Structure 1
Amino acid sequence: MSGAQRPPVVENSGWRWGPFTFRLPFLHTRPHWPEIAQGLLVATATGLALVPILVGYFGMSFEEAIAASLLVSTLIVIALWVFGEPYAPGWTTPALPLVLAFVLPRYDTPDLRFQAMTAMSLSFAVLVFVLGITRAGPRLIAWLPPTLRATILIGSALAAFRQVFVTDAPRFLHQQPMSILLACAICLVVVFSAPLQRLQGRLPWLRHLVALGLLPGFLAAAIVGPLVGEVSYDVQWGWMLPPVGDALAKMSPFAIGWPPLSMYLDVLPLVLLTYVITFGDWVTAEAVIRDAQPARPDDPIRIDARRSHLTLAVRNAAAGLVAPFFTTQGALWAGVHVVVVSRWRQGPQAMRDLHSGLISYFMMGLPVIYFVLPLLTGLQPLLGVALAITLVTTGFACAYIGMGIPRSNAERGSAVLGGVALSLFDPWIALAAALACWWLLVGREQKPATATAGAEEHA
């Protein structure tokens, strides 16, 4: 049923403004402590993965990188309480390896790298806004051949593995080999292991472990690292006031200058690829909610593709002006979304409403972790581990999803060859190579009915 044919959904709380709904924490949403506790732990382990990138490649101090991460996180959480999105927001993580593989070798100064991030954020904001207003996004995705979708995901996987095991190896892996490899191995097993998934039904404690996602691997590295001499803690007590002004002076286009027109043209292929990944996130998030909604007729959820597009456009435009690091303003943190929706479907006794659960997981929209100095200084020697975990698990997820899309040997070969091009070459050359591989080796292909239906449903 199309959006025009569905009866309007009346949500239970919040102030409507245009297509959005403003929900003030503690007034329209109540705190759920299991989600707050999980969010505090998991966000601590993964939300600071941006810091080693900013310190190592963008010329920022540790304190300035914390301030930049604070701005990024604030823009992420406003998707929930300012705009009323029913999806757990996060990074567009599959696109991150492609962005790093493009920006880091091509631009040799922090100013140029931040300008490239600004160009991508603003270009993406314009694209998403236009596709949302015109509702052309679903039609674009429905046209995209499945093999090209697989190519994008496989290219992201290869770029992620290359970043960890080749490009960043001297900086992180060679310095903390045991810690990083152990953490990555545990995270892959906890998140993706089929045998472990089968054991969850018989071992309730295992379900709680799996629900922690990346945290067990991170904690293992935190314990083993000091024992093998790879990690040394220097915990400082007190509060940190992140130097937001200093961070803005190093990354905002108002301070370092605006990207030239040629830069906008250079990044356009990456912007298009990121939209394809983002649309897949929206379809996934919507499917998870629609599957659980019959169990919660008391809490109707309004799904609106136009609102989702406009929200993402505003967040990326704002990021491009104050905290330009492309792919950090994405539509979905899939693991968190599934965990929260799973508890929501258990009924009002488990979670009053979905928005309360989501906002609780994001600590009621208050990113307090960026002010707690003992937490930040304790995590500082483990940030390389956090970055490696993020990229390796992202690469693995992209690989198994991407390899599951092709249905013939020609499609699989084309997807891998095009993925190699995306991970190694400049975006325009890589996109041309991927299109050539698909056209010459596969040609016209029949799209799966589910993919077409998903795009039409999202419209």
Structure 2
Amino acid sequence: MKHRSYGEEQSHIKLGLFKLRLPFIHYRWAWPEALQSLLMCSVCLGAIPVLTEVLGIPFDIAWSMVIINGFLYSLHCLLGDPVVPGWITPAIPLVTSFLYKYTLGPERIQALIAIQILVGIIFIIMGTTGLAGKLIKIVPNSIKAGILLGAGIAAVFGEFQVGGRFGLYPISIFVGGILSYLILFSEGFAVLKKKNQLCATIGKYGMVSAIIVAVIIGPIVGEIPLPELEVGTFIKIPDFKGLVEIVSPLGIGFPSVDLFIGAVPMAIIVYIIAFGDFITGEALIAEGSKARKDEKIDFNSNRSNIISGVRNIIMALIAPYIQLCGPLAAAITAAISQRYKEGREQMDSIFSATGTFRWISFAGVSIIPVVSLFQPVLPIALSLTMLVQGYICTRLAMSICKDDTERGIAGVMGAVLAAKGATWGLGLGIVLHLVLCDFTKKKVKKLEDEVVSIDNAM
């Protein structure tokens, strides 16, 4: 593997906009992320109960869909994107509610196919035209912060609302959530990691420690059953024949024009929500780059858009996914960013961690003993991920804002976005920005010009 000189970009093969990086050739393996990923694959598997319930499909088919999605995750690091991709998580309840309007069976699955194809097309258009990169630069701080804040509020509120997972697993989620926050975000714990080897080891594995504690506490307090390790067959091969017959448009038929037309508003809303992930990803990478000058990290939102679009269209044609294919797993990327800040001796390159994590998560969701071991804790692992994502989004939202006006707009916009959806939240945020920020700046500029005119006249 070629050694990276100080301040240079990690080695790669240039492919136009993309930068091909292969494990062991273009970046080192990161063992802390490998173990963390093996345990965190329980979050990926959390998609299974949602797919079986909403689409009415067998467990085996849903599991096959998760494996295919896991493989497509690896495209990001493979092609030069320095973040860990994930679901478009805040959109899941909106998509689910939309699908329930259609009859259970082929029609509902075709409605999902229509949404995911349209979302994929929007991603690709935004990336290939360069609009994605320009959009991030021209969106005002107050709007960026409002999107992040809305996503953060929605993520946390969804866990604690009536019918949320906290009501089912209160002790496990409370203990696991506090421990996750302590390990990932506590300044005191960061100091302890430098002085105590045990704390340093725990800190390396991020949320893994919290999930392990949840696995132990859950059965003790009677919130989850004891895990049962299944041995025998080791690797799960996706049931491609079943996928084609049950969920793929190649078997059940493509959506009608009416289904595509009906899915357009939802697809636009989903992209608006996903836009917040690009903002979050850019902010997390910027934080890491500020702390580490030894590596130049190229975060290109256009490239990330194209890869996300390709993933969505592939999934729509093979295994339409309610969770959709988003550009960022915020909780995991934040944990990697925190460890990256500790220096090159801890993590040689950001790609060492992101690449290792997603290749191992693909392997993990395919290993039958691993899936059987973590099956009882899947809802709790998913809940901890949402709580960490909520913290990250709200923290970044506050750091983006530069003055009280921006903070006020972000707060109101975020609350409306979480309560009424992306359309209302974004619309209100734009109106408030035009009324408050632009008006104030123009007024100040006008006063400054008047003062200069008076001074010149004198």
Q: Which residue of 2 aligns with 1:335?
A: 334
The residue matched to 2:56 in structure 1 has which SS?
Answer: coil
Q: Which residue of 2 aligns with 1:134?
A: 129
Pairwise CA distance, 1:155:
1.1
Q: Does 1:226 align with 2:223?
A: no
Q: Distance in 2 between matches of 1:302 and 1:403?
A: 24
Structure with greater Cα Rg: 2
Q: Does 1:424 align with 2:424?
A: no
Q: Distance in 1 between matches of 2:370 and 2:204?
A: 22
Q: Distance in 1 between matches of 2:12 and 2:139?
A: 38
Q: Does 1:236 align with 2:234?
A: no
Q: Which residue of 1 aligns with 2:450?
A: none
Pairwise CA distance, 1:74:
0.5
Shift of the 436–160 alpha-carbon distance from structure 1 to 2, 3 Å rule, reads same
Q: Which residue of 2 aligns with 1:413?
A: 408
Q: Distance in 2 between matches of 1:268 and 1:96?
A: 15
Q: Which residue of 1 aligns with 2:38?
A: 40
Q: Does 1:278 align with 2:274?
A: no
Task: Describe the superposition over 1:116-137 as per-residue Cα deviations: whole angstroms up to 9, x where unpaired.
Answer: 6544543443333333333333
Q: Which residue of 2 aligns with 1:71?
A: 68
2:150 maps to which of 134, 150, 155:
155
Q: Distance in 2 between matches of 1:290 and 1:406?
A: 18
Answer with 203-212 or 306-315: which moved more: 306-315
Q: Does 1:175 align with 2:168?
A: yes
Q: Does 1:20 align with 2:18?
A: yes
Q: Distance in 1 between matches of 2:200 and 2:299?
A: 29
Pairwise CA distance, 1:402:
1.7
Pairwise CA distance, 1:388:
0.8
1:316 aligned partner, one-letter code: N
Q: How does 1:367-386 map to 2 (within 5 A)?
A: 367-386=362-381
Q: Distance in 1 between matches of 2:160 and 2:150?
A: 15
CA RMSD after TM alignment:
3.5
Q: Which residue of 1 aligns with 2:306?
A: 310
The residue matched to 1:235 in structure 2 has which SS?
Answer: coil
1:173 aligned partner, one-letter code: F
**TM-score, scaled to structure 1:** 0.78
Q: Which residue of 2 aligns with 1:214?
A: 207
Q: Which residue of 2 aligns with 1:201?
A: 194
**Contact persistence 2:230–2:372 (CA under 8 A):** yes
**Contact persistence 2:42–2:377 (CA under 8 A):** no
**Contact persistence 1:241–1:371 (CA under 8 A):** yes
Gaps of 5+ in 2: 1-7, 442-458
The residue matched to 2:320 in structure 1 has which SS?
Answer: coil
**Contact persistence 1:68–1:244 (CA under 8 A):** no
Q: Distance in 2 between matches of 1:422 and 1:64?
A: 34
1:324 aligned partner, one-letter code: P
Shift of the 149–184 alpha-carbon distance from structure 1 to 2, 3 Å rule, reads same
**Contact persistence 1:74–1:367 (CA under 8 A):** yes
Task: Describe the superposition over 1:87-125 as per-residue Cα deviations: whole angstroms up to 9, x where unpaired.
Answer: 143215xx512x123222333156666556544543443
Task: Describe the superposition over 1:307-337 as per-residue Cα deviations: whole angstroms up to 9, x where unpaired.
Answer: 4443333223323333433553415652364
**TM-score, scaled to structure 2:** 0.78
Q: Distance in 2 between matches of 1:186 and 1:146?
A: 31
Gaps of 5+ in 1: 1-8, 447-459
Shift of the 158–331 alpha-carbon distance from structure 1 to 2, 3 Å rule, reads closer
Answer with 325-334 or 234-243: which moved more: 325-334
2:173 aligned partner, one-letter code: I
Percent identity of equivalent pairs = 21
Q: Distance in 2 between matches of 1:445 and 1:125?
A: 38
Pairwise CA distance, 1:224:
0.9
